[in-house]
Structure 1
């Protein structure tokens, strides 16, 4: 693999452990329907394809859904989550130190997530990630979500980098498929929210401890 001048990260399950705040918001959104609460492991298994899918899966698991129910529940979720999305969310151990090290070494850093852009930016700002990230690309109306490569390509363009110059760091099969579709090498954080197998025959790098990893791979 050629030397990389840019690293682009997923957010949930990669840079931050955010599922506890999503669990709180999901259960608050389900409560008016008389639905029982979902545990953390279930929420983690639903994360990765955007909040619309998270709510659809949560409703399906607790009794079913239709368009109106989904719309109203999603609205309640977003209201709670946008107000309290950093109450329990924390960076994984070693993340901030690694970002500081990479930035000081001259590596260009970006973020590409299926989380809506506003809460993604808010989380990064509150948790001290923003100073190291030259571009933050989240979900926006009209922009296809991962595993479509559009958001990752948008981040690459904002950073002024080509796919060959970049490495995408994520925690899920969705992230892997996104990198493959964009022609970007992929690195898997194995302690995140992986809920589907990653192919073993592709060029996948793996790590389980941010503090022990030198991500400036060559």
Structure 2
């Protein structure tokens, strides 16, 4: 098997490692339901996801013809409290992820996470899914008081994972721009919470399934 020249493979969480759309949709629908707005199907909420809870809720209110700053401020804590209590009812790793992580670990690669999801959601979610032990570091959106695309959280992820040559995998412009700002290579996934063509993220490479990750990294230029 060809060797992998990266010491660390870093991942975004929502839309990259884990499909959290079902639980995020449930939280949105609970929040808007408290003011009598009708629920959305999960497929309709997926395009709202990817830029944080506030933006997700704002997009849902806009789609409900109920966009209003005061209503947004009222419903955001309702959404967050519900989500915190229901993190993993419908969330699961994307197909091929577990096998890819096993192969990377067997190749001596360290795995890490850098997400803009706050620690109070990210850490319990990974615990509940039984995945926390697989990652040398998990950096949340509030761990270093700034999120991606600022490079600081990615630098913290690398440092806490032991340092070394790193590549970062994500599904949004925050992920790919964050990697670029941190001076590391990036891979975009086409199956995440995209709000445009994946090519527009301008990552160094694109994968459409986690089965493609190991061969991609084995063939990466040194």
Q: The TM-score by the shorter chain falls in which range?
A: 0.7 to 0.9
1:77 to 57, 76, 79: 79
How far apart are the structure 2 equivalents of 1:100 and 1:7? 12
Structure 1 residues 116 and 31, CA gap change in structure 2 (3 angstroms): same
Give yes or no for contact 1:173–1:195 (8 Å, CA) kept in 2.
Answer: no
Q: Which residue of 2 aligns with 1:173?
A: 173
- Corresponding pairs, count: 214
How far apart are the structure 2 equivalents of 1:35 and 1:201? 34
Give yes or no for contact 2:176–2:201 (8 Å, CA) kept in 1.
Answer: no
Give yes or no for contact 1:5–1:108 (8 Å, CA) kept in 2.
Answer: yes
How far apart are the structure 2 equivalents of 1:138 and 1:115? 6
2:46 to 44, 47, 57: 44
How far off its partner does 1:81 sit? Answer: 0.8
**TM-score computed with the length of structure 2 as normaliser:** 0.86
Please say if 1:65 is aligned against 2:68. yes
Q: Which residue of 2 aligns with 1:12?
A: 14
**TM-score computed with the length of structure 1 as normaliser:** 0.88
How far apart are the structure 1 equivalents of 2:205 and 2:189? 9
- Two-structure CA RMSD over aligned residues (Å): 2.2
Q: State the 4+ residue runs in structure 1 displaced beyond 4 angstroms.
A: 198-203
How far apart are the structure 1 equivalents of 2:144 and 2:200? 33
Deviations 1:61-84 (A, max 9, x none): 321121x42233111111111111
Q: Which residue of 2 aligns with 1:87?
A: 89
How far off its partner does 1:202 sit? Answer: 4.9
How far apart are the structure 2 equivalents of 1:148 and 1:201? 16
Give yes or no for contact 2:173–2:201 (8 Å, CA) kept in 1.
Answer: no
Partner-residue secondary structure (3-state), 1:213: helix
Q: Which residue of 1 aligns with 2:157?
A: 155
> Where does 1:58-207 land on structure 2 (aligned, <5 Å)?
58-62=60-64, 63-66=66-69, 68-140=70-142, 143-161=145-163, 165-198=165-198, 202=202, 204-207=204-207
How far off its partner does 1:117 sit? Answer: 1.1
Deviations 1:88-126 (A, max 9, x none): 101111111211221222111110111111221122122
Deviations 1:149-195 (A, max 9, x none): 22222212212325xx1100012222111111211111111122222
Give yes or no for contact 1:16–1:89 (8 Å, CA) kept in 2.
Answer: yes
Structure 1 residues 195 and 114, CA gap change in structure 2 (3 angstroms): same
Range with greater deviation from structure 2 (68-77 or 12-21):
68-77
